[in-house]
Chain A
Amino acid sequence: MLLTKMKPEFEISEAHERKETALDVKQLNIYYGNHRAVKDISFTIEKNAVTALIGPSGCGKSTFLRSINRMNDLIPGARSEGIILYEDVNLIEDNINVVALRKEIGMVFQRPNPFAKSIYNNITHALKFYGIRSKKKLDQIVEESLRKAALWEEVKDRLHDSALSLSGGQQQRLCIARTLAVNPKILLLDEPASALDPISTAKIEELIMELKKEYTIIIVTHSMQQASRISDKTAFFLSGELVEFDQTDKIFTNPSNQKTEEYISGRFG
Chain B
Amino acid sequence: MAKEFSTASERLLKKSNRAALKMEMRGKSIVLISAILIIAATISITIFLGTKGLQSFLVNGINAVEFLTGTVWDMGKDGGNGPSYGALPFIFGSFAVTFLSALIAAPLGIGGAIFMTEIAPSWGRKILQPVIELLVGIPSVVYGFIGLTVLVPFVRNHVGGQGFSLLSGMIVLSVMILPTVTSIATDTLRSLPGGLRESSYALGATRWQTIYRVLVPAALPGLLTAIVLGMARAFGEALAVQMVIGNTKELPSSLLDSAGTLTTIITLNMGHTTYGSVENNALWSLALILLIMSFIFILIIRYLSSRRQYR
Does A1 sit within 8 A of B, measured CB to CB?
no
- For B309, the closest partner residue in chain A by CB is A116
Does B195 sit within 8 A of A, measured CB to CB?
yes
Tell me whether B203 and A126 are in contact (CB under 8 A): yes
Does A69 sit within 8 A of B, measured CB to CB?
yes
Does B214 sit within 8 A of A, measured CB to CB?
yes
Interface centre among A106, A107, A116, A125 (most CB of B within 10 A): A116
Tell me whether B201 and A113 are in contact (CB under 8 A): no
Does B218 sit within 8 A of A, measured CB to CB?
yes
Residues of A within 8 A of B201 (CB): 71, 74, 102
Q: Mark B90-103, 1 if CB is under 8 A from A, else 0.
A: 00000000000000
Q: A222–B195 Cα gap in the complex (Å)?
A: 19
Which DSSP category, helix, strand, loop or mixed, fits chain B's interface?
helix
Tell me whether A117 and B204 are in contact (CB under 8 A): no
Residues of B within 8 A of A100 (CB): 204
Interface residues of A in 143-171 (CB under 8 A from B): 162, 164
Q: Which of A29-37, A174-182, A247-255 forms contacts with chain B?
A: A174-182
Tell me whether A109 and B218 are in contact (CB under 8 A): no
Q: Pick the contact of A111 from B193, B209, B217, B309 — CB < 8 Å? A: B193
- For B192, the closest partner residue in chain A by CB is A116
Does A268 sit within 8 A of B, measured CB to CB?
no
With A111-B193, A178-B203 already in contact, the answer to whether A116 and B310 are too (CB < 8 A) is: yes
Residues of B within 8 A of A109 (CB): 195, 198-199, 202
Give min CB distance, A15 to chain B, whole Å: 38
Residues of B within 8 A of A107 (CB): 199, 202
What is the interface of chain A, defined by CB distance below 8 A to chain B? Answer: 69, 71, 74, 76, 99-103, 106-111, 113, 115-117, 125-126, 128-130, 162, 164, 175, 178-179, 182
What is the interface of chain B, defined by CB distance below 8 A to chain A? Answer: 122, 193, 195-206, 209, 213-214, 217-218, 309-310
Q: Mind listing 20 A-B residue pairs with CB under 8 Å?
A: A71-B198, A74-B197, A74-B198, A99-B205, A100-B204, A102-B202, A106-B202, A108-B202, A109-B198, A109-B199, A113-B196, A113-B199, A115-B218, A116-B217, A116-B310, A125-B203, A125-B213, A129-B204, A162-B309, A179-B203
* Known interface pairs A106-B203, A107-B199, A116-B309; 14 further A-B residue pairs with C-beta atoms within 8 A, sorted by A's residue number: A69-B202, A71-B198, A102-B204, A103-B204, A110-B195, A113-B195, A113-B198, A115-B217, A116-B218, A116-B310, A126-B205, A129-B204, A129-B213, A178-B199
